[in-house]
């Protein structure tokens, strides 16, 4: 985990832009102060606790054109209040409430409170698994404080306080849980604006995801065997997975790589080699595994097992 405390807007702009995406910041009075506790969890997934004075944070069209898009931010208001705007829609968040923002489009967050805190979960859209057509419908829409999913996500704030005590395996597990919870929140919001989405996607995709998780180590697991196990055609599978912007094959590969990342993180204890882990996770040869692992996590599996895992991943 990294902690940054700043006393100027220029410093805060640099810190916030590094943790999230390029932003502009405007203070509402003199004596600006801000603090951020930032923790990367998995590639494309991070969490941060942000504490600032009166400020407006804006991602303009110019900033969007500079890159750093392709993510969703879940903003959970921990105390005080803030106003969010995106795509002609806006909401005011009070303690316990939340909203989702798309970093691929301009947005604005403003608070006049002397001191306010937010928990920000950032996830690449592939992790959240919400269809592209639905992004505009979920952004800047207030999510009530009573949501049980939000209550579970707010527990991550405690994890930030003890993050230095988490093992690599613990952090990986926390990352998977956080990603699943954020995806569930996004789906809940989308379901409220598009009732047909859940009927068209969730049932088959969720059952397949559970099956893939149980059989990720089976080298015979494939799109064909997945379709047979669920008594549907491969075309039906591809249609269902298209609603979350993935293919069944990519979903299988990512689950195998996640399993491998966990095994690699504990390989110094188990004594398992990269080759044995590759075979155990359903890959036919270590070369294919190494190439896929590097593409997914940005680091070779041999370096992952010799380092602190997720700490070697850039924040993006």
Indicate the pTM of the whole model: 0.63
Q: What pLDDT band is residue 309 in, cutting at 50, 70 and 90?
A: very low
pLDDT band at 194 (very low <50, low <70, confident <90, very high): very low
Q: Are strands 71-79 and 45-52 parallel, antiparallel or unpaired?
A: unpaired
Which residues are paired to 2 by β-bridges? 38
The three-state (H, E, C) secondary structure of the chain, written as one string: CEEEEECCHHHHHHHHHHHCCCCEEEECCCCCCEEEEEEEEECCEEEEEEEECCEEEEECHHHHHCCCCCEEEEEEEEECEEEEEECCEEEEEECCCEEEEECCCCEEEEECCCCEEEEEEEEEHHHHCCCHHHHHHHECCCECCCCHHHHHHHCHHHHHHCHHHCCHHHHHHHHHHHHHHHHHHHHHHHHHHCHHHHHHHHHHHHHHHHHHHHHCCCCCCCHHHHHHHCCCCHHHHHHHHHCCCCCHHHHHHHHHHHHHHHHHHCHHHHCCCHHHHHHHCCCCCHHHHHHHHHHHHCCCHHHHCCCCHHHHCCCC
CATH number of 195-312: 1.10.10.60
At residue 131 the predicted structure's pLDDT band, cuts being 50, 70 and 90, is low
In this predicted structure, what is the pLDDT of residue 311? 38
pLDDT of residue 15: 92
Tens-place pLDDT, residues 216-266: 989 899 999 998 888 777 877 887 888 777 899 999 999 999 999 988 888
Q: Is the pLDDT of residue 83 over 90?
A: yes
Tens digit of each residue's pLDDT (9 = 90 or more) over 3-50: 888 988 889 989 998 888 889 998 877 788 999 999 888 878 889 999
User: How would residue 2 be classed by pLDDT, with cut points 50, 70 and 90?
Assistant: confident
pLDDT, residue 18, reads 87
| Predicted confidence (pLDDT) at residue 201 exceeds the cutoff of 60 | no
| Superfamily holding 2-192 | Jelly Rolls (2.60.120.10)
CA 113 to chain centre: 28
Report the distance separating Cα 181 and Cα 159, nearest Å.
Answer: 15
Q: Is the pLDDT of residue 101 over 70?
A: yes
CATH 2.60.120.10 residue ranges for the chain: 2-192
Whole-number Å distance between alpha carbons of 308 and 232: 41
User: Which regions of the chain carry the CATH code 1.10.10.60?
Assistant: 195-312
């Amino acid at each position: 985990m990294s902690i940054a405390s700043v006393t100027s807007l220029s410093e805060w702009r640099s810190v916030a832009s590094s943790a999230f995406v390029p932003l502009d910041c405007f203070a509402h009075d003199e004596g600006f102060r801000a603090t951020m506790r930032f923790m990367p969890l998995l590639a494309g997934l991070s969490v941060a606790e942000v504490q600032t004075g009166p400020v407006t944070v804006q991602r303009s069209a110019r900033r969007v054109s500079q890159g750093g898009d392709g993510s969703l931010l879940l903003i959970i208001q921990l105390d005080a209040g803030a106003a969010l705007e995106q795509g002609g829609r806006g909401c005011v968040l009070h303690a316990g409430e939340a909203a989702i923002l798309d970093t691929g489009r301009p947005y604005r967050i403003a608070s006049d409170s002397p001191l306010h805190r937010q928990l920000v979960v950032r996830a690449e859209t592939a992790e959240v698994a919400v269809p592209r057509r639905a992004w505009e419908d979920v952004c800047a829409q207030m999510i009530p404080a009573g949501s049980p999913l939000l209550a579970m996500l707010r527990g991550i704030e405690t994890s930030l306080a003890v993050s230095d005590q988490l093992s690599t395996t613990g952090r990986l597990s926390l990352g998977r849980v956080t990603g699943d919870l954020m995806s569930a929140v996004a789906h809940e919001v989308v379901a409220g604006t598009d009732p047909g989405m859940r009927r068209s996607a969730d049932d088959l995709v969720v059952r397949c995801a559970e099956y893939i998780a149980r059989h990720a180590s089976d080298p015979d697991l494939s799109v064909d065997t997945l379709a047979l196990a669920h008594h549907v055609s491969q075309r039906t599978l591809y249609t269902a997975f298209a609603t979350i912007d993935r293919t069944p094959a990519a979903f299988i590969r990512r689950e195998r790589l996640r399993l491998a990342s966990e095994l690699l993180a504990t390989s110094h204890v188990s004594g398992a080699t990269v080759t044995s882990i590759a075979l155990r996770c359903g890959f036919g040869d270590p070369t294919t595994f190494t190439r896929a692992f590097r593409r997914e996590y940005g680091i070779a599996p041999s370096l992952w097992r010799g380092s602190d895992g997720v700490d070697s991943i850039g924040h993006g």
